[in-house]
Amino acid sequence: MMPIGRRTALIPFLALFAAWFFGDSSLRAAEPVRAPHAMVVTEEPHATDVGVAVLKRGGNAIDAAVAAAFALAVTHPFAGNIGGGGFMLIRFADGRSTFIDFREQAPASATRDMYLDASGNPTRDSIDGWRASGVPGTVRGLELAQSKYGKRKWADLIAPAVKLARNGFPIPATMVRSLNEERSRLEKDPESRRVFLENGADLHAGQRLKQPVLAQTLRRIAKNGAQEFYEGQTAQKLASAMAEHGGLITLEDLRSYRAVERAALAGHYRDISILTAPPPSSGGIGLLQMLGMLEGSGYQKTGAGSADAIHYTAEVMRRFFADRSQYLGDPDFVKVPTLDLLNPAYVERRRSTIDMNRATPSAALNAGLPSGNESSETTHFSIVDAEGNAVAMTYTLNNGYGSAVTVPGLGFLLNDEMDDFTSKPGSPNLYGLIQGEANAILPHKRPLSAMTPTIASRDGKPFLVLGAPGGPRIITAVLETFLNVADFGMNVQDAVNAPRFHHQWMSDTLYLEKEIAPAVAAELQQRGHRIEYSPGVVLARVEAILIDKKGHKEGAADHRFSGKAAGY
């Protein structure tokens, strides 16, 4: 491995940081929200308030997570859901941990080539419409977590979401923009058009969105538990609508769905212990493998935002995503070589191929092990309670507003998670990811995910809880935010807000946010990187909590969206 260069260090570090982070306008740092006891950070203010209220009433972090998740299903339909799935990572105050996998599953009738046309090319059926949905897992996963680890009553945790759906809430400008951006997809579905587009009327910020049909569905779930969604009236209506519209999910698919409790993936970076997501997420393996390549490299010596630091980290990202394309999938169906991918000797071998002076062409870089056996529109929240329990939860519909289908008589949107499978090995999915046979479609299989809920600890105590939405960009956003705190000493709000970059092997492009200094971008181009600028929202949105040595909580909602951090 070539040593890290010092070229960028010729620029005074403070001036470089100011130009990179603040656009030359100010040296004032952004401050996190601080609270002595507990903290909730979500992408939507109502959901944050719901979570804080649960904690104040004696609920723990798991209770608050369940309440916030149901609230987001009402107030953040872009990604919050009961028609999708996700992951919940829990670290208990006594140091124990667990991981709840409620990822969607392929229906029993799913087939390997179901999204290919007569010429063998992928269609949009995995993205739009009734056939795009996997069997939802959210309600089952939330019930598993709450029944086993929560303290409050299930119905009480859903009551705030019922109220929000029944009485409505003012639509924020961010939601108006997202609805307008997805209007062409939502208009194709009569129920989505009625609920979210006012039957074609122009939307404006501040108008009240009421969802009485969804409120009725949530009331039944509050009364009858997850059984209502998977076997009761809700299940029967969903299965009937699927049959009527050519969808694949049957009543038996719903009845047979189970959330799975797995061991969290554990690793280290310097003196920091890390808990993160195991397969079927690729995010945890990616985070730990990339940290392994970075540790001891000296990549950080020229400072945050320097060409050296970005170049080296991008090369690390490139190597992980090459491995991801071939080896990762649902561990219940394929052998995922987790230990091999994280083996220090293998990580060092991958690191040794990085040239500090030149970008490695992705076409020349393949998966590194011997042959053997992902939306951007996800949402994440982080919670720490007064007892010291921490939850990092990421759940999703995949695309914005999922498949754009709202179930008649039920009021919720369906996911389009079937696009996270490999419809055709070697062909890019919605996010441009190249994927392999390990993630091919099979009945009851869970698609590979990029969701990366993560909890980091020092000296046996949690100090950073984070995660993000953003498709494959989740993994790199979590990595960069972690490094901003651990290696560059930023406060948690600055770490979350800092301009980001992303490389995912194929296509061979280094994506930069526009706030990254032009001189840095020019130097990266000189090293052989193909640069493309992306809007901030494209490079994921992180919601994070830092716990200081005194136990005080600092919450950071990403400035790229309209989230909220609050505590007490």
Residues annotated catalytic, as ranges: 378
**Both tokens assigned to 51:** 């979570």
What's 406's DSSP letter?
A: B
How far is residue 248 from each of residues 83, 411, 470, 568, measured CA to CA in Å?
14, 19, 27, 46
Shortest CA distance to 223 belongs to which of 143, 169, 145? 143
Contact 460, 483 (CB under 8 A): no
**For the stretch 464-495, what's the b/e string if a residue is b when 16 or more beta carbons lie within 10 angstroms of its beta carbon?**
bbbbbbbbbbbbbbbbbbbbbbbbbebbbbbb
Contact 43, 562 (CB under 8 A): yes
Contact 366, 318 (CB under 8 A): no
Instruction: Find the radius of gyration of the CA atoms of the chain.
Output: 22
Identity at 498, one-letter amino acid code: A
| Pairing relationship of beta strands 553-557 and 543-547 according to DSSP bridges | antiparallel
How many angstroms separate the first and last alpha carbons of the chain?
Answer: 48
**Both tokens assigned to 218:** 């949530």
| Pairing relationship of beta strands 510-513 and 531-534 according to DSSP bridges | parallel
Contact 413, 81 (CB under 8 A): yes
Distance separating alpha carbons of residues 287 and 90, to the nearest angstrom: 18
> What is the signed CA dihedral for 133, 139, 140, 141, rounded to 10 degrees?
100
Helix segments in 270-379, DSSP class H? 283-294, 307-327, 338-342, 344-351
Contact 472, 504 (CB under 8 A): yes
Contact 80, 68 (CB under 8 A): no
Q: CB atoms < 10 A from the CB of 542, how many?
A: 32
For CA atoms 420, 426, 430, 432, give the dihedral sign: positive
Q: What is the 3-state secondary structure (H, E, C) of 13-79?
A: HHHHHHHHHHCCCCCCCCCCEEECCCEEEECCHHHHHHHHHHHHCCCCHHHHHHHHHHHHHHHCCCC
Residue 246, by phi and psi: left (phi above 0), alpha (psi -120 to 50) or beta?
left
Q: Which residues pair with 116 in a beta bridge?
A: 122
